[in-house]
Amino acid sequence: MRLWKGLPSVGDLKRLAGIGRVLAKHGLGEAGERLFRPSEGAAPDSRAVPAFLRAALPSPRRVRLALEELGPSFVKLGQLMSTRADVFPPSYIDELRKLQDSVPPVPFARVRDVVERELGRPLTEAFAEFDAVPVAAASVAQVHAARLPTGEAVAVKVVRPGIARRIGQDVRLMEYVAGRLERAFEAARLLGLTQVVQEFERTIFRELDMLIEAGNIEKFAGQFAEDDEIRIPRVYWEHTTKSVLTMEHMDGIKMDEVERIRAAGIDPKEVALIGLRSFSRQLMEFGFFHADPHPGNTIVMADGRVSLVDFGITGYLDGDTMRQIANLFLGFADHDYDQVMDALQQAGIVSERTVDLAAFRLDLKDVAEAFYGRSLRHISVVDVYEQVMGLLFAHRIRLPRNLLLLLKTFIQTEALGKILGSDASLLEVTRPYARRLVERNYDNRRLFGHLDRDLRAMAGYLKAMPKAVHDITRQLAAGKQRLELSHTGFERFDAQLDRGVNRLTVGLIVSASVIAASLVLTSTQPVLIFPVHFFGLQTLSVTQVLGLAGYTIATGLGLWLIASILRSRRL
């Protein structure tokens, strides 16, 4: 990942100045002032941080308006931020969801130049017809209706000319701005704005590559090849490049046009069920899901089938995550919160180290139980989303990107079902798919297949081990590696050993004192005899004094040693 160190070009400086003007225009002057403060390395005034935290963040509406005016790159960033409800407060999520991708279309002459350059031939040669007016125009690309020389109706998605360069410049500025804001505002640092920009950079350039989207379409087409409810458009690879995607035109009705669907003799509730079943299969069978199923990307065809289009945003789930999600759905469907908590812990979403599991389980149950037994028509999707996100926010739980994308898709799918007046429950529709997934993992052939795979892996490890040991030994002998050994768990042993040695030493001193005192007192050659008148004694020698002192010391140390042994209860 690139680290932005400065602003080397005049163009970058002009763009950054423009960002400052937009911030000031929308009442974000404090952010602009701190952003352009010359003393970049200086820490912000400590008195300003509490005031800022008390005021939280700037007005959500002002932020949205500023992002819209800053252009396509910042609109896309705002859309990404709207999915990070585990990071941003609910008021921001609600406002950022209003960001729209619609922008004025690129002039047809520039679109023609892109298509001809990418396909390497004149537009009139590549297409029999090409509508100059786009069907849809978004910040990254726009779509034109066309017809191939062979007669097939197609939709041609063309990346806006120069958008990659513009986004690259904006991403550099975003990194710079995010770093400055994190240094200027404690709240910006806590929200992790730099990480949000890095995540944005990873996703936006994938969305600019039409070959990636074409591959996603082909993968979906293979998965739903035998499905008579879902229709995936065909990709025309000879008319597809990195900046141009040509796919089959899907004629039909947008899913939110309920009256038109009903007028065509199609039951909207059945359409909703098709969507729910499709979503369940994507999660529980394929581990690959369409992550942007809004009405404009979901077409109801004349024969009642549903077509998915626009595969720029997709999500992946590995086998372990699929099983955990299946157990999660089954746990919620059966009101089994032990199963739900196990699935969440296995997925690494919650753990004893980071979350009070008992409190989280109780809060989760309070949220979930309120929605049991209610159809999509009687559930506020926004309410579900806000409560789930509030729960994550309250317990400081951060979801991985693929699960955040899945949650957003889940909410969008339920929203479509509600628009269509569905009486179905997503949990009930998904339950059989989840159960089949769990059962498949206990299938004997699958278990033996996993065992065979693990044995092959173990054989590979055993085969490689002698060479690895030889290489390590040779490097150690050559002084290229250093072997360090450390032991733990001996701290108490050391303390006990010290205590035992000390007691033994005291015992030896007591014994030596007794023996020395006895020898001194029994001596027949007194030294320095002097007269005393105390307790009837007439004379006293130094040898007698030393002997008595030895007995006194021995007695005191002996009593102390006995007391310490009794206290330790280890005779």
Dist. CA 351–CA 392, nearest whole Å: 13
DSSP string, 114-130: HHHHHHTS-HHHH-SEE
Dist. CA 95–CA 243, nearest whole Å: 31
DSSP string, 397-454: ----HHHHHHHHHHHHHHHHHHHTT----HHHHHHHHHHHHHHHTT-HHHHHHHHHHH
Q: How many residues does the chain have?
A: 571
Assign 3-class secondary structure to 503-556: HHHHHHHHHHHHHHHHHHHCCCCCCCCEEEEECCEEEECHHHHHHHHHHHHHHH
Q: Who contacts 403 (Cβ-Cβ below 8 Å, separation ≥6)?
A: 321, 347, 349
Q: DSSP label at 137?
A: E
What DSSP element (H or E) covers 188?
Answer: helix 186-191
What are the E-state strand segments in 249-390?
Answer: 253-254, 288-290, 298-300, 306-308, 314-316
Dist. CA 280–CA 286, nearest whole Å: 9
Tally the C-alpha atoms within 13 A of residue 377's C-alpha that lie toward its C-beta: 9
Dist. CA 426–CA 431, nearest whole Å: 8
Dist. CA 81–CA 93, nearest whole Å: 7
According to DSSP, the β-strands at 230-231 and 306-308 are parallel
Dist. CA 322–CA 328, nearest whole Å: 10
452 among known catalytic residues: no
Catalytic choice (12, 292, 303, 454): 292
Dist. CA 19–CA 170, nearest whole Å: 10
Three-class DSSP category at 158: strand
- What backbone phi and psi angles, to 5 degrees, belong to 315? -130, 155
Q: Say if CB 314 and CB 290 are below 8 A apart.
A: yes
Angle ∠(92,178,66) on CA atoms, nearest 5: 50
According to DSSP, the β-strands at 141-147 and 129-130 are antiparallel
Residues with a known catalytic role = 292
